[in-house]
Amino acid sequence: MSQQLILEFHQAKWREDYARQADALQQAFGANFVGVHHIGSTAIPGIYAKPIIDILVEVDDIDLVDDCEQGLRQLGYDPKGEYGISGRRYFQKSDENFRRTHHMHVFGVDTSEIKRHLGFRDFLIAHPTWAKKYSELKRELVAAYDGNKDRYINGKDLFIKSIDQRVTDWLRAKANRQ
């Protein structure tokens, strides 16, 4: 049975949920903790998103994250290892009905993946027209969704890559102005 994809218009409660999680995660990672960020579509006001909070945690030493797994499990996070991205630790959290509620991506400080995720978020917040285009694309993909999650993910891929290039140019222009 395929899982239904649901999009919801941006909700303030997502930011509040993120803030609660961020506080608990800082404690769980202890001295290895560097920072935490709300990423993904739920961090971008004014657009539609799957109601799953994406969290990015920066740590000093990625290898020490494995030592935190028990504490993270107590917070409801299920460890998935690198999950396809070298140098990452990935976790999922679900509610009592087994619906996914949170994705957590953990990276060592100053990695290119952190910069990419934060750049994408910041660019779409700063450029509402592009955020709206992204939101509309996701709504079109969900409307045509036939249970093939890869089709949804791949449908967003070209747009995301084009935004990644715009982010690079935008950040370069911002640095030149400073």
What domains, with CATH codes, occur in the chain?
8-177 (3.30.460.10)
Mean pLDDT, the chain, whole residue set: 94
At 81, the pLDDT band (50, 70, 90 cuts) reads very high
pLDDT, residue 3, reads 65
Q: Which helix (H) or strand (E) holds 96?
A: none
Q: How far apart, in whole angstroms, are the C-alpha atoms of residue 132 and residue 20?
A: 27
In DSSP terms, 57 is beta-bridged to: 36, 106
* Whether pLDDT at 127 is above 60: yes
Q: How far apart, in whole angstroms, are the C-alpha atoms of residue 1 and residue 7?
A: 19
Per-residue CA distances from 2 to 60, 67, 156 (Å): 38, 34, 19
How many CB atoms are located within 10 Å of the residue 44 CB? Answer: 23
Stronger pLDDT, 5 or 32, i.e. the higher one:
32
pLDDT, residue 20, reads 96
pLDDT, residue 4, reads 77
pLDDT, residue 79, reads 97
Find the Cα–Cα–Cα–Cα dihedral 112, 118, 123, 129, rounded to 10°: 120
Please report, rounded to a whole number, the percentage of residues in the chain having pLDDT higher than 90: 88
Q: List the structure tokens of 75.
A: 């917070």
How many CB atoms are located within 10 Å of the residue 5 CB? Answer: 14
* Whether pLDDT at 57 is above 90: yes
- The stretch 81-107 carries a mean pLDDT of 96
19-33, 47-61, 103-117, 137-151: which has the minimum mean pLDDT? 137-151
- The stretch 77-84 carries a mean pLDDT of 96
| Residue indicated by tokens 């935004």 | 163
pLDDT, residue 1, reads 39
